[in-house]
Amino acid sequence: MSVVSGEREAFRLTRTGPEWRDRDVDALRETFDRQHCVKLPGFIEPQLLRQLHRLVAEAEFSEFVHEGIASELLMAAGVCTGVLDFLVNDPRLFEFIRTITACAPIRAFVGRVYRRCPGTDHHDSWHDDLGRQRMIGMSVNLSADRYDGGTFEMRRFATDKLLASLANVGLGDAILFRIADGLEHQVTAVRGAVPKTAFAGWFVGHRPGEPSDRAAAAQ
């Protein structure tokens, strides 16, 4: 049975806390080592995901442009973002991420909820996310329905050959990806009629607000 096919869940977030469901993560580790990214099927349990969908529906979004990189709808800070931040900033998840990726010690996950809609100028371009002690990226699918497009792609800097192309369309699934010199990634345009909603961000080596974080932000 393949771990990366979606048939087996190695780790998931639940209403009662994180669950490391399968300690045999060799396949995940080998995939990450080879292509610098990997999919985590069923990362959010269905019951918790239904609750999050209700919070997403109640949240406010506004247009946001990251000049030269992306444009999207950005969720305002509130109940939904607070719940998500609480769920992922857990040492049990940090241990799992380090087991898969062999990254340095993790102090926090810093993320946002975004939505990209088909038929708009919402887009994402090739970029590397380097800086501010970012080590591993993660994107969690919070969409309530299956969307088209919005595929995660990874490549070496300034090359045309893809290292990986992952369609993260399973409800509650997640993608992990490495942040390092020489690697860049993008998400393709969303097509069809259903928008893509995701909780995305980075596992970092500092806690937000620490002196190291403020120094990095000033660079």
Check which CATH number belongs to the domain holding 114 and give it: 2.60.120.620
Q: How far does Cα 88 stand from its chain's mean position?
A: 11
Residue 5 resides in a domain: no
Q: Where are the alpha helices (DSSP H) in 2-72?
A: 26-35, 46-58
Residue 4 resides in a domain: no
Which of 143, 153, 134 shows the shortest CA–CA distance to 113?
143
pLDDT score for 34: 97
Residue 1 resides in a domain: no
Contact present, 33 and 177 (Cβ < 8 Å) = no
Q: Of all helices (H) and strands (E), which one includes residue 136?
A: strand 134-141
Structural domain harbouring 153 = 11-217
Residue 65 resides in a domain: yes
What is the pTM assigned to this prediction? Answer: 0.91
Contact present, 96 and 72 (Cβ < 8 Å) = no
CA distance 104 to 134: 10
Residue 197 resides in a domain: yes
- Is the pLDDT assigned to residue 216 strictly greater than 60? no
| Reported confidence tier of residue 84, pLDDT bands at 50, 70, 90 | very high
Q: 187: which strand partners?
A: 152
Rounded to the nearest integer, the mean pLDDT of the chain is: 91
pLDDT score for 211: 56
The string of pLDDT tens digits covering residues 169-213 is 999 999 999 999 999 999 999 999 999 999 999 999 988 776 544
When divided into structural domains, the chain yields a total of 1
Phi, psi of 195 (to 5 degrees): -75, 160
- Is the pLDDT assigned to residue 152 strictly greater than 90? yes
Do β-strands 37-40 and 17-20 pair in parallel, antiparallel, or remain unpaired? unpaired
CA distance 56 to 59: 5
